Amino acid sequence: MKDSRWFGGDAEAWERAPYWLDSLIPLAFVLDDATLKGRAMRYVDYIIAHQREDGWLGPREMIAAAGRPEDARYDLWAQLLATKMLVQLLEK
């Protein structure tokens, strides 16, 4: 996850990171685990700090699997997951 484009890396930019955070956040709060909460917040803080002027969260470019060229289409599904993850965080 640390190499994801969602967090400033140069690996994938699909919805893996938002899915991961969408699971990590509830887990961290259900377990009341300070370490997991801190880890989740570091990643969330990065996403929020790098939000684009038009409101877009995360990367717009994606890397295709198996060495295929980048796909210039925007991944709207990842945006929906990211906003769901933020709602979960605010509800905690």
- If one counts the domains in the chain, the total is 1
Read off the amino acid at residue 87. V
pLDDT of residue 75: 72
pLDDT of residue 41: 96
pLDDT of residue 33: 98
pLDDT of residue 25: 95
Q: Could you tell me how far CA 11 lies from the centroid of its own chain?
A: 13
Q: Give the structural domain span for 48.
A: 5-91
**Contact (CB, 8 A) for 6 and 13:** yes
pLDDT in tens, the chain (92 residues): 778 889 988 887 778 899 999 999 999 999 999 999 999 999 999 999 999 898 889 887 765 555 666 655 667 888 999 999 999 888 87
Place of tokens 């993850």: 85
The rounded distance, in Å, linking the Cα atoms of 28 and 13 is 24
